[in-house]
Structure 1
Amino acid sequence: MTKHVIEKIKGSLIVSCQALDDEPLHGSEIMALMAKAAKQGGAVAIRANGKEDILAIKKEVELPIIGLVKKDYPGSPVYITATKEEVDELIEAGVSMIAVDATNRSRPNQETLQSLIKYIKPLGIPIMADVSTVEEGIAAEKLGVDCISSTLSGYTEYSPSHSGPDFKLIENLVNCCSVPVIAEGRIKTPDHAKQALSLGAYAVVVGSAITRPQIITKDFAEEMKLNLKVKGEVH
């Protein structure tokens, strides 16, 4: 399974179909249709959050699903597939790959990244490590993950914040790690995706720029307002 899924996504687009509770498009049926649209547009895999959404998406598209579960735990900043409980949910949903937070932050229930990976590995399900730094990528590879994603750059207190993709992190991960590196995080345009591939990214994940219309709309509106300010037409 690992080899098949990893080979399938090479050089291709993965679309993240997620909407949280407070977002207009929240709902499994909507995310399933979003995944269907992504497939029609050329996506080769879907990244999705939670068992309910994943099962709905699987009814609409026959694409590999990279699953994760976002859950808040008091006292821990780790949010993406933080514990074995979330892993079990993803296993029940029948995902093709499991994405986990692979930062060096403390996890809930005194679990560790190492113990979580050891829990998943015997199941034969590929593991995607979401990291925010090169050091975390290197450490995750040593623990046995199948691929590394730049997803969490800018989302930890010790990683740099960028308005666009963290191309430096992507490039450094490619140079320092032997497992595939997936570019993800603030990739807003096809040119961004092409640049990530040119730096050696194995595949590219795009989420908000495709599946979150409120964010896409905001980008347009803010750029237009900025243009008016430059012209002196807004006071």
Structure 2
Amino acid sequence: MVEMLDSFAGKLIISCQAPADSPLHQPEMIAAIAQACVNQGAVAVRIDSPAHIKAVRKVLPEIPIIGLWKRMYTGSDVYITPQLSDAVAVVEAGADIVAIDATARPRYGGENLAEIITGIQKQTGKLVMADLDAYDNAVLAAKAGADILGTTLYGYTGETKNLTPPGFELLEKLAQNFDLPIICEGGIGSPEMLKKAFAVGADSVVVGTAITGVDLLAQRFLQAL
């Protein structure tokens, strides 16, 4: 695990996902996109759902996968691997690291953050990436035992809805105050922004839509017309 995290340092991780209504939202399509990204030098991929993780693992047996499962439960806004059972399913599908929502928002079923993190680590032996929105929640995630801190949810929660990703201020504060791997994710839309993220203090950077978001990128160009 230490070697894997060391291999991320200064490198690019690519999130390979597609909207549920897209023809690209098929396991074999996501696997092909992931393979193309790795062929160009991505050191790891971030993949949503057990079905997609299984497909990617089949074509990329040696590449680290940050796995998650976007699921909505009644009465909760937490949707990135919200339950321990979701996390276990992600690992069983082939993920090396489990990304979870590590915000302060209430979870369906009453599970708390520490229980989920500890459960993942004890039941699967895998690392946990805390997808964060704010510094205070990073403190709580670190105390709960998270292995990696990420800026993934900056700008996507009620607490941060008036902020626009990427969260460079949050990223810098995390890098200065935590002795954990820090991953910048969310809103990185150009190579220049990628360079800035590393300059600010990221150990690694995840890029998604700007590389693999075919549907959203097409929308932007068409809206310009």
Q: Specify the TM-score bucket, using the shorter chain as the normaliser.
A: over 0.9
1:164 shift after superposition: 4.4
Which structure 2 residues correspond to residues 1-235 of structure 1 after superposition, within 5 A? 2-61=1-60, 62-122=62-122, 123-222=124-223
Q: CA 1:221–1:163 in structure 2 vs 1: closer, same or farther (change >3 Å)?
A: farther
Secondary structure at 2:179 match in 1: coil
TM superposition shift of 1:144: 1.0
**In structure 1, distance between residues paired with 2:34 and 2:5:** 19
Q: Which amino acid aligns with 2:18?
A: A
2:168 and 2:23 map into 1 onto residues whose CA distance is 30
3-state DSSP class of the match of 1:148? strand
Q: For residues 200 and 145 of structure 2, what CA distance do their matches in structure 1 show?
A: 23
Distance 1:150 1:200 in 2: 12
Q: What runs of 5+ residues in structure 2 fail to find an aligned partner?
A: none
> Are the aligned partners of 1:131 and 1:137 in contact in 2 as well (CA < 8 Å)?
yes
How high is the sequence identity, in percent, across the aligned residues? 39
Structure number with greater Rg is 1
The amino acid that maps onto 1:153 is Y
Deviates more, 1:85-94 or 1:196-205: 85-94
Residue identity in the other structure for 2:83: T
Q: CA contact under 8 A between 1:83 and 1:116: conserved in structure 2?
A: yes
Q: Give me the whole-angstrom Cα distance separating, in 2, the residues matched to 1:18 and 1:206.
A: 11
1:76 to partner: Cα distance: 0.4
Q: Secondary structure at the match of 2:130?
A: strand
Cα separation, partners in 2 of 1:207 and 1:161, compared to 1, 3 Å: farther
Q: Secondary structure at the match of 1:158?
A: helix
Write the letter of the residue equivalent to 2:91. Answer: I
Report the Cα distance in structure 2 between the residues aligned to 1:20 and 1:83, rounded to whole angstroms.
Answer: 22
Distance, in Å, in 1 between the alignment partners of 2:23 and 2:175 is 36
In structure 1, distance between residues paired with 2:204 and 2:161: 22
How far is the alpha carbon of 1:77 from its aligned partner?
0.5
What is the aligned-residue RMSD (CA, Å)? 1.4
1:16-73 CA deviation, whole Å, 9 max, x = no partner?
A: 0112312241110100000011011110001001111011111112310000000010
For residues 57 and 7 of structure 2, the distance between their equivalents in structure 1, rounded to whole angstroms, comes to 17
Contact residue 31 and residue 53 of structure 1 kept, 8 A? yes
Q: Which whole-Å CA distance do the structure 1 matches of 2:140 and 2:222 have between them?
A: 41
Letter in 2 for 1:7: D
Query: How far apart are the structure 2 equivalents of 1:167 and 1:154?
Result: 12
Residue 155 of structure 2 contacts residue 164 of structure 2 at CA under 8 Å; is this kept in 1?
A: no
Structure 2 CA distance for aligned equivalents of residues 109 and 148 of structure 1? 24
Retained in 2: the 8 A contact 1:5–1:96? Answer: no
Give distance in 1, aligned partners of 2:164 and 2:76. 25
Instruction: Give the Cα separation in 2 of the matches to 1:217 and 1:161.
Output: 26
Q: Normalization by structure 2: what TM-score?
A: 0.94
1:70-128 deviation digits (Å, cap 9, x = unpaired): 00101000000101110121121121100000001101111111110110122321110
Which letter maps to 1:63?
I
- TM (norm. structure 1) is 0.90
